[in-house]
């Protein structure tokens, strides 16, 4: 598994403060996986970041749900007076 932590072109430093108990826990887990503390922290943070991004951008549908989703996208829009009113107003920064 190639991750950022194993990239030989490292050009950014990330500093964090932790409690001794947190450091000890991370060190123990890092040893169990054969990684350095930095590798373990960076790999873990990147995996968590990917999960957060995927949770916000990806959703899975079965075949029937996907077909219904496509039908909804193809349906003509209905009038939306609240949206029309909002879009007719000037932005607060204008």
Give the model's pLDDT for residue 7.
52
- Is it the case that residue 84 has pLDDT exceeding 70? yes
Query: Is residue 58 domain-resident?
Result: yes
Q: What is the pLDDT of residue 50?
A: 94
Decide if 53 is inside a domain.
Answer: yes
DSSP characters for the chain?
---GGG-S-----------HHHHHHHHHHHHHHT--HHHHHHHHHHHHHHHHHHHHH-----HHHHHHHHHHHHSPPPP-HHHHHHHHSPPTT-
User: Per the domain annotation, does 64 fall within a domain?
Assistant: yes
Residue 10 covered by a domain:
no
- Binned at pLDDT 50, 70 and 90, residue 26 comes out as very high
Kindly tell me if the per-residue pLDDT of 3 is higher than 70: no
- How confident is the model over 47-69, as pLDDT tens digits? 999 999 988 887 889 999 999 99
Q: Is residue 45 part of a domain?
A: yes
Residue 70 resides in a domain: yes
Q: Is residue 2 part of a domain?
A: no
**Number of domains present in the structure of the chain:** 1
* Domain boundaries, position 66: 15-77
């Amino acid at each position: 598994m190639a991750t950022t932590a194993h990239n030989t072109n490292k050009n950014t430093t990330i500093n964090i403060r932790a409690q001794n108990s947190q450091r000890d826990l991370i060190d123990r887990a890092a040893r169990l996986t054969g990684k350095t503390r930095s590798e373990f922290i960076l790999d873990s943070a990147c995996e968590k970041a990917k999960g957060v991004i995927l949770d916000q951008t990806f959703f899975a549908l079965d075949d029937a749900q996907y077909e219904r989703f496509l039908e909804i996208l193809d349906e003509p829009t209905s009038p939306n007076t609240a949206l029309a009113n909002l879009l007719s107003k000037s932005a607060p920064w204008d």
